[in-house]
Structure 1
Amino acid sequence: MSIIQKIQSNPRRKALALRLLIPRGQARPRWWVRNFLNPFLHHRGRNSVIRRSVRLDILPFRKFSVGNLTIVEDFSCINNGMGDVTIGNNCTIGLSNTLIGPVSIGNDVILAQHVVLSGLNHGYADINLPVHLQKCDTAPIIVEDDCWIGANVVITAGVTIGKHAVVAGGSVVTKDVPPFTVVGGNPARPLRRFNPQTGEWEKA
């Protein structure tokens, strides 16, 4: 059993470790974690750029990686506290995006502005307990290679966006999107599909 597994298996140890890493009631790691621990534990690809105003709520016990030639634009927020966040090569993470793990983004993906990918859901079943004290559930979001996610899109936990799919701006995606499909709306539904027999994008 690894050190991390030993800590996570013991509630008292886990609470102490979290207190050392994050101030109580906050998501942002302490200064020493951000500056002296994370840079040595998480992968940054060749010629990748993470703008200075990006908020990295990154903890050392979960994975965070950015591929080669990928850019994370200003005012975005990335949080791996509840699940790994991995971003592939040659991706653009646009202005003011929010990525809350578990999230996996493939290669050559474009996220436009104000996109939210959250693999986390807060529990609410117990009406006698405040929501912020209830157990969170996670389900991974997967964005496969060569996708384009438009501005102001929300992708909910557990959704997979297939290869070369397009999500129209302002959409809320609650179900998987097949490869080579354009979806839009709230909730998002198929608008166009690529037909390999005709070589055309056709109405869904």
Structure 2
Amino acid sequence: MSLKEKIKSDPSLKKLVHWMLIPTGEAAPRLWVKWFVNPMVHKRGKGAKVRWRTRMDVLPFNRFELGAKSTIEDFCTVNNGVGDVLIGSNSLVGMSNVIIGPVTIGNNVIMAQNIVASGLNHEYRDVTMPIHEQKIITAPIVIEDDCWIAANSVITAGVTIGKHSVVAGGAVVTKSIPPYSVAAGNPAKVIKRYDFDLKDWVKA
């Protein structure tokens, strides 16, 4: 049995290790984790940048990867506490984005400002318990290569946005978007698709 499996199988040990990594009731890791553990565990490609005013709530028990020449701009929050956050190469995470794993972002992706992409949901159906005491549910978000996600968009858990697609500003994406599409609205709907025979974008 690996050390990770041993910790997971022992509730008391798991609670102790969790407390050592994160103060009780908080999401941000302790400074010693940020300074000494994360740099050895998480991968950053050549030329990758995380601006210093970004809140990196990343922990060693899930993956965080930032590909070569990718940038996470100021005032973002990145959290891998309940799922991996994987960002490809030559991608931009614009200012004030919130990314909560599990989220996979491909190569050459543009994410504008004030976007929320959260693979996390809270269970709420037991009305005898406060919502914050109920279990957390996750479903991966995937943003494939070459996408552009415009400002103020929301991408909900379980959604895949296909290759070379555009999500319009302010859209709320609750269902997957096929490749080579433009989606807009709340909830977002496909309004254009690229026609490879016509070699043009056509209304859906």
Which structure 2 residue ranges, 5 or more long, are not aligned?
none
1:124 and 1:171 mapped to 2: Cα distance?
25
Q: Deviations over 1:11-65 (max 9, x none)?
A: 2111111111101110001111111111111001100110000100011010000
Q: State the 4+ residue runs in structure 1 displaced beyond 4 angstroms.
A: none
Counterparts of residues 93-108 of structure 1 (less than 5 Å): 93-108=93-108
Is 2:77 the counterpart of 1:77?
A: yes
Match of 1:179 in 2: 179
Q: Deviations over 1:155-200 (max 9, x none)?
A: 0000000000000000000000000000000000011000001001
Match of 2:119 in 1: 119
Match of 2:148 in 1: 148
TM-score scaled by length of structure 1: 0.99
TM-score scaled by length of structure 2: 0.99
1:134 and 1:190 mapped to 2: Cα distance?
34
How big is the shift at 1:128? Answer: 1.6
Q: Deviations over 1:134-167 (max 9, x none)?
A: 1100000000000000000000000000000000
The residue type equivalent to 1:109 in the other structure is V
Counterparts of residues 1-204 of structure 1 (less than 5 Å): 1-204=1-204
How big is the shift at 1:5? Answer: 1.6
For the residue of structure 1 that corresponds to 2:179, the secondary structure is coil
2:201 and 2:121 mapped to 1: Cα distance?
35
1:151 and 1:96 mapped to 2: Cα distance?
10
The residue type equivalent to 1:149 in the other structure is I
1:196 and 1:50 mapped to 2: Cα distance?
37
1:5 and 1:124 mapped to 2: Cα distance?
29
Q: Which deviates further from its counterpart, 124-133 or 26-35? A: 124-133
2:98 and 2:147 mapped to 1: Cα distance?
17
1:11 and 1:185 mapped to 2: Cα distance?
44
Coordinate RMSD, CA, aligned:
0.7
The residue type equivalent to 1:62 in the other structure is N
Q: Which deviates further from its counterpart, 53-62 or 123-132? A: 123-132
How big is the shift at 1:92? Answer: 0.4
Which structure 1 residue ranges, 5 or more long, are not aligned?
none
